[in-house]
């Protein structure tokens, strides 16, 4: 026993190094597992508030761009109102099932394989896990961690992200993922080989999951090919959103989610 | 002694802020960022308590990880180069290390570059292996480690020259 203790004491730097390396390695592997990294992420109070201070300084640099974006969105919404009365009733219907909350992006990344976005909104504002996040142009991701004031979003530019999507014209659906290569292009997998795809087709959300309503735009078809087993298409989708430049986003809350989940607990 | 402690504490805090809010917003060619926070490990006094040095390096990496949502990748890479640093000090500075008389500020530029480059390379390789975490993407790991490694080396050398006090 004495010798063992002596051995550890003599090699204490090596032992400490091995222990710390193992700890770091374990945290890393857990963070690669979905839903496990509860403690160490950017939505916690301290790092969240520091990110908030710096992003509020950065806000001023993008005011002009944001104004144009808001003007475009207003323009689109007004043209909807002026051109069709039935659409207005549809939007009211939409309001009943989904509640939208506007918020700001505190931190965004797109250079890694697993990218996360931190939002300036949290449990105090009624935000929970699995709420969807969109901009006026298209989808951004799904909330995966929350603290009382901040929330972390699993970006669509994350190799772990899986979102249901479909081709707008033909209603063939698949899973949207990312291969980590280009931050403007994501992949729509598992599309039936019977589907007719044309370059330039619009890809939208399918509405099968409870996170996003149907027909939220995602992007257009850039190119497509058969997968390795030659029975399903892999479609490269060019995003409408510029994921490198996000400021104002909306959090979507599906008000019927509890009811839907009791009806079909297996479906996420 | 106290001034060394003070300057290292200041360096620790400033490097974290500089890393998170400036270096990680650079995104050259889409995904190349320098990781200059390891300057703390590179320039830590040679005469030191190794146990506390390794522990500080771990904390530094872990704080960076929390800000960047990268699990424990930075912590693992930092703690490794902190542990293996003496080997590289001996390799690049030779006999000066034996007498523990290295002054980073007035060492030969070539020795300094070799020392920085080797440690940065090892740090970045470990970092990107853990960040990518996919055995089939070796090309991506190596290319990202090399491209941001060159960038980091460049910036650390500039920063070190800028902020070194010349003793005459």
ipTM value for the complex: 0.85
The DSSP secondary-structure symbol of B23 reads: G
d(Cα B57, Cα B76) in Å, to the nearest integer?
Answer: 9
What is the pLDDT at residue A186? Answer: 92
Which residue among B71, B82, B83 places its CB closest to the CB of A28? B71
Distance CA B147, CA A17 (A): 28
Question: pLDDT band at A220, cuts 50/70/90?
Answer: very high
**Is the Cβ of A112 closer than 8 Å to some Cβ of chain B?**
yes
CA distances (Å), origin B85, targets A18, A65, B44, B136? 15, 47, 10, 30
Cβ contacts of residue A133 below 8 Å, gap of 6+?
A: A117, A119, A139, A140, A141, A142, A143, A153, A249, A250, A251, A252
Nearest to A112 among B54, B67, B131 (CB): B131
The helices-and-strands tally (H runs, E runs) of chain B is 7, 0
Yes or no, beta carbons of B68 and A244 under 8 Å apart: no
pLDDT at A227: 83
- Chain A and chain B share a number of CB contacts under 8 A equal to 104
The reported pLDDT for the residue numbered B99 is 67
What DSSP element (H or E) covers B125? helix B109-132
Q: How high is the pLDDT of residue B168?
A: 39
pLDDT (0 to 100) of residue A4 = 83
Angle, helices B50-68/B2-21, rounded to nearest 10 degrees: 20
**Domains in chain A, please, with CATH?**
42-268 (2.40.10.340)
The overall average pLDDT reported for chain A is 82
- Check if the beta carbon of residue A222 is closer than 8 Å to that of residue A214: no
Chain B residues closer than 8 Å to A31 by CB: 69-72
Identify the pLDDT of residue B121.
94
| Res. A155 pLDDT band, cuts 50 70 90 | very high
- Give residue-wise pLDDT tens across range A47-58: 777 777 777 777
Q: Determine the pLDDT at residue A268.
A: 47
CB contact (8 A) between residue B69 and residue A14 = no
Kindly give the pairing relationship between strand A151-158 and strand A185-192: unpaired
B62 and A16 within 8 Å at the Cβ level: the answer is no
Note whether B66 contacts A113, CB cutoff 8 Å: no
What would the pLDDT profile of A77-113 be if each residue is shown by its tens digit?
A: 877 777 765 555 555 555 457 888 888 888 888 878 8
Residue A45: phi and psi, rounded to 5, are -55, -45
Cβ separation of A24 and B61 shorter than 8 Å? yes
B69/A109 touch (CB, cutoff 8 Å), yes or no: yes
Residue A27 C-beta-side C-alpha neighbours within 13 Å = 24
| Residue A208 Cα distances to A213, A215, A268, angstroms | 8, 11, 9
Kindly report the backbone phi and psi dihedral angles of residue B137, in degrees, each rounded to the nearest multiple of 5, phi listed first: -110, 45
Q: Please check whether residue A79 touches B, CB under 8 A.
A: no
pLDDT over 70 (residue A203): yes
CA dihedral for B66, B70, B72, B73, sign (positive or negative): negative
- Residuewise pLDDT in 10s, chain B (168 residues): 578 888 889 989 999 988 988 888 777 777 788 999 999 999 888 888 888 999 999 999 999 988 888 888 999 999 999 999 988 888 888 777 766 666 777 677 888 899 999 999 999 999 998 888 777 778 888 988 999 999 999 999 998 888 776 543
Cβ contact A25–B68 (<8 Å) = no
């Amino acid at each position: 026993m004495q010798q063992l203790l002596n051995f550890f004491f003599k090699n204490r730097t090596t032992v400490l190094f091995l222990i710390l390396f193992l700890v770091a390695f374990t945290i890393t592997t857990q963070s690669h597992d979905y839903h496990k990294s509860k403690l160490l992420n950017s939505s916690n109070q301290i790092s969240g508030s520091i990110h908030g201070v710096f992003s509020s300084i950065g806000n001023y640099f993008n005011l002009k761009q944001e104004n144009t974006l808001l003007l475009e969105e207003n323009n689109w919404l007004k043209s909807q109102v002026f051109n069709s009365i039935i659409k207005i009733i549809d939007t009211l219907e939409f309001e009943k099932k989904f509640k939208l909350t506007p918020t700001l992006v505190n931190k965004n990344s797109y250079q890694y394989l697993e990218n996360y976005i931190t939002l300036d909104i949290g449990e105090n504002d009624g935000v929970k896990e699995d709420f969807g996040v969109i901009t006026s142009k298209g989808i951004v991701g799904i909330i995966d961690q929350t603290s009382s004031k901040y929330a972390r979003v699993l970006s669509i530019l994350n190799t772990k992200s899986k979102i249901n999507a479909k081709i707008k014209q033909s209603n063939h659906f698949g899973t949207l993922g990312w291969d980590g290569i280009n931050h403007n292009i994501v992949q729509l997998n598992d599309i039936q080989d019977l589907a007719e795809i044309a370059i330039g087709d619009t890809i939208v959300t399918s509405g099968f999951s409870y996170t996003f309503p149907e027909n939220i735009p995602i992007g257009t078809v850039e190119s497509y090919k058969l997968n390795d087993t030659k029975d399903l298409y892999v479609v490269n989708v060019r995003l409408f959103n510029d994921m490198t430049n996000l400021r104002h986003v909306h959090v979507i809350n599906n008000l019927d989610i509890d009811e839907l989940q009791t009806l079909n607990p297996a479906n996420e | 002694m106290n001034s060394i402690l003070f300057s290292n504490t200041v360096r620790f805090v400033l490097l974290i802020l500089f890393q998170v809010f400036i270096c990680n917003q650079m995104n050259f060619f889409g995904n190349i960022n320098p990781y200059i926070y390891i300057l703390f490990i590179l320039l830590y006094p040679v005469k030191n308590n190794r146990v506390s040095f390794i522990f500080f390096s771990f904390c530094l990496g872990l704080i960076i990880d929390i800000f960047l949502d990268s699990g424990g990748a930075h912590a693992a890479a930092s703690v490794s180069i902190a542990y293996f640093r003496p080997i590289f000090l001996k390799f690049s500075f030779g006999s000066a290390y034996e007498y523990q008389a290295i002054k980073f500020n007035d060492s030969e530029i070539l020795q300094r570059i070799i020392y920085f480059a080797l440690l940065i390379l090892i740090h970045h390789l470990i970092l990107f292996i853990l960040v990518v975490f996919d055995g089939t993407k070796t090309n991506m790991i190596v290319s990202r480690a090399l491209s941001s490694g060159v960038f980091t080396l460049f910036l650390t050398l500039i920063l070190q020259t800028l902020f070194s006090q010349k003793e005459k």
